[in-house]
Amino acid sequence: MTKTTRAKNPLTLTVDIGGQGIKGMPILGTDTPTAPRFRIKTPRPATADPVIHTISAVFDHFRPFDRVTVGFPGVVNHGVVATAPNLDGRWKGVHLEERLGAIAGVPLRVINDADMQGFGAIEGKGVEMVITLGTGVGAALFLDGKLLPNLELGHHPFEKNETYEERLGQKALDQLGVRHWNRRIDRATKLLRKIFNFRKLYLGGGNSRCIDTKLPSDVVIVRNAVAFLGGARFWELG
């Protein structure tokens, strides 16, 4: 590949930090993976230094690349962590973008992980919403392709004095089983439609594979891999 071609189609390494695993995949342009997904188990305790060390190992696995997008499970403001509810220790105030950028040696951005998945899922028309179902519950909201960052809907009240994350996260799925968890998914999607009047709602994350309820036409399940495409599309749309 020539330098001119790479300039038009940069290679973006997308890294997704999850409660169970830290995954990476390189994307050429905005839609072409060039290598299989690589995963390392999230260290425990998931404090800042071990997590950053693990991300560095993901970088080393895929070098070289032109730029990096890192999806973080919490609120990130201008590259600085504000919250990390499903990780461990003191994350607030960590200059994650600066620290990882120094390791990567290329342009790097850190954004909320649900926001990143949203960039990979949306069509760019009207109000679109993304819910990620995994260890926790993430959310992203877009209007005509423009992001409202750090929505963190998972920590808002849902029902019975519990949040979306408490009712729909991994612990709830383990305790309830798939059948009753799906009933909560039904109630959640109906409530979200009333609140946000979305044109389309995308359900992603690792536990979206457990959804077996019949969904209306404006609610769709997306592959978890769209997060990696979102990391590349973010540079064009974000």
123 is a domain residue:
yes
pLDDT tens-place string over residues 13-63: 999 999 889 999 999 999 999 999 999 999 999 999 999 999 999 999 999
> Which residues pair with residue 32 across a beta bridge?
28
Residue 84 phi, psi dihedral angles, 5° rounding: -150, 70
**78 with 141, same domain?**
no
Q: Is residue 145 located within the same domain as residue 96? A: no
Q: Does residue 155 lie in a domain region?
A: yes
Classify residue 220 by its DSSP letter: E
Q: What is the pairing mode between strands 108-112 and 127-133?
A: unpaired
**Under DSSP, is residue 176 helix (H, G, I), strand (E, B) or coil?**
helix
Identify whether 233 is part of a domain: no
Question: Would you say residue 238 lies in a domain?
Answer: no
Boundary residue ending a domain (59, 80, 115): 115
Give DSSP secondary structure letters for 74-128.
S-EETTEE---TTS-S--TT--HHHHHHHHH-S-EEEEEHHHHHHHHH--SSSEE
Q: Are 129 and 146 contained in the same domain?
A: yes
Q: Kindly tell me if the per-residue pLDDT of 238 is higher than 90.
A: no
Angle between helices 226-237 and 113-121 (to 10 degrees): 90
The count of structural domains within the chain is 2
Same domain, 185 and 108: no
- Residue 210's CATH number: 3.30.420.40
Same domain (yes/no): 9, 109:
yes
Final residue of a domain: which of 87, 115, 143? 115
pLDDT range class, residue 6, cuts 50, 70, 90: low
* Domain shared by 177 and 150, yes or no: yes
Averaged pLDDT for residues 54-74: 97
Residue 209: is its pLDDT beyond 60?
A: yes
In the chain, % of residues over pLDDT 90 = 87
Which tokens sit at 100? Answer: 């990882």
Residue-level pLDDT at 7: 60
Q: What is the pLDDT of residues 77-111, one digit of tens each?
A: 999 999 999 899 999 999 999 999 999 999 999 99
Query: What amino acid occupies position 110?
Result: V
Comparison of pLDDT for 233 and 1, the residue scoring more: 233
Tell me whether residue 188 is in a domain: yes
- The answer to whether residues 56 and 40 touch, using CB atoms and an 8 Å cutoff, is no
* 4 has pLDDT over 60: no
Residues 25, 122 within the same domain: no
Residues 110, 133, single domain; the answer is no
Residue 42: domain span: 3-115
For residues 77 and 150, the answer to whether their CB atoms sit within 8 Å is yes
Q: What amino acid is encoded at 226 in this protein?
A: V
Cα first-last separation, the chain: 26
Same domain for 182 and 87: no
Residues 96-155 have pLDDT tens digits of 999 999 999 999 999 999 999 999 999 999 999 999 999 899 999 999 999 999 888 999
Q: Do 164 and 147 fall into the same domain?
A: yes
User: Cβ atoms within 10 A of the Cβ of 113, count?
Assistant: 27
What are the angstrom distances between the C-alpha of 208 and each of 45, 77, 205?
26, 27, 6
Q: Is the predicted pLDDT of residue 2 greater than 60, yes or no?
A: no
Closest CA to 83 of 12, 165, 3, 177: 165
